[in-house]
């Protein structure tokens, strides 16, 4: 039979050794866990830093791309305006086309809703569109109004204002017709 008192006394004699082994294993595991935790923390911080740098790089490239696209947009717009103005001055585009484009622009005049494209700007634009004898000052005013509409378009992204940028073509057409008219008046005998 089993002598319980001998077994208990044997266990009691080995308890300090078992406690020492358990404590040793506990502290060793704790140190290893802390090493792994700090290693993971360092790697996570490094990954965050790299990700932040990459995001910043992408933001810079995107800003550069936006500038380039805006530059191409302005160049194409400038070219088309110059071409329309030249064709109108040469008589290729005439008064009926101007009237048709004016009617189109008047019909699709966008509603005002903001700080740049106000009701006053809309009314003034409508007045200038309805005017038959346009002057150089009227052209300057139309140009100023179109810049306000463009600024509004950039800030709000309104699709109706993007489409209304055809006003620039109308301004170029008027400029060409005014040049043609000035050229004809200058070449007429006095």
Domain extents in the chain: 58-187
At residue 30, the pLDDT reads: 92
Q: The tokens 């050794």 sit on which residue?
A: 17
Predicted pLDDT of residue 187: 55
The reported pLDDT for the residue numbered 81 is: 84
| SS3 state of residue 185 | helix
pLDDT at 104: 82
Stretch (H or E) spanning 134: none
Asked whether the beta carbons of 167 and 117 are under 8 A apart, the reply is no
- Give the pLDDT score at 109: 80
Per-residue pLDDT, 190 = 40
pLDDT, block means (10 residues), the chain with 190 residues: 76 80 89 94 94 94 90 84 84 81 82 80 90 91 91 84 82 88 64
User: What SS3 state is found at 118?
Assistant: coil
Q: What is the pLDDT of residue 51?
A: 95
pTM score of the predicted model: 0.60
95: tokens are 């008064």
pLDDT score, position 74: 82
122: left (phi over 0), alpha (psi -120 to 50) or beta: alpha
Query: How distant, in Å, are the alpha carbons of 33, 96, 135, 190 from that of 186?
Result: 93, 23, 16, 9
Predicted confidence at residue 15, as pLDDT, reads: 78
Residue 188 backbone dihedrals phi, psi, to 5 degrees: -75, 140
**Max Cα separation, the chain?**
144
H helices of the chain, in order, are 4-89, 95-107, 119-130, 136-156, 159-163, 167-187
């Amino acid at each position: 039979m089993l002598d319980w008192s001998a077994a208990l006394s044997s266990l009691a004699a080995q308890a300090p050794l078992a406690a020492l082994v358990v404590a040793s294993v506990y502290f060793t595991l704790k140190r290893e866990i802390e090493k792994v935790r700090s290693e993971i923390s360092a790697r996570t911080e490094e990954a965050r830093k790299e990700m932040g740098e990459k995001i910043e790089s992408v933001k810079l490239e995107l800003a550069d791309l936006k500038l380039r696209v805006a530059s191409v947009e302005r160049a194409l717009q400038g070219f088309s305006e110059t071409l329309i103005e030249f064709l109108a001055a040469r008589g290729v585009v005439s008064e009926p086309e101007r009237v048709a484009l004016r009617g189109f622009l008047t019909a699709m005049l966008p509603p005002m809703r903001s700080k740049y494209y106000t009701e006053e700007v809309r009314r003034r634009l409508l007045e200038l569109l309805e005017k038959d004898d346009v002057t150089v000052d009227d052209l300057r005013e139309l140009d100023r109004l179109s810049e306000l509409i463009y600024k509004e378009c950039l800030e709000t992204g309104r699709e109706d204002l993007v489409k209304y940028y055809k006003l620039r073509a109308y301004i170029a057409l008027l400029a060409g017709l005014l040049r043609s008219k000035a050229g004809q008046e200058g070449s007429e005998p006095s």
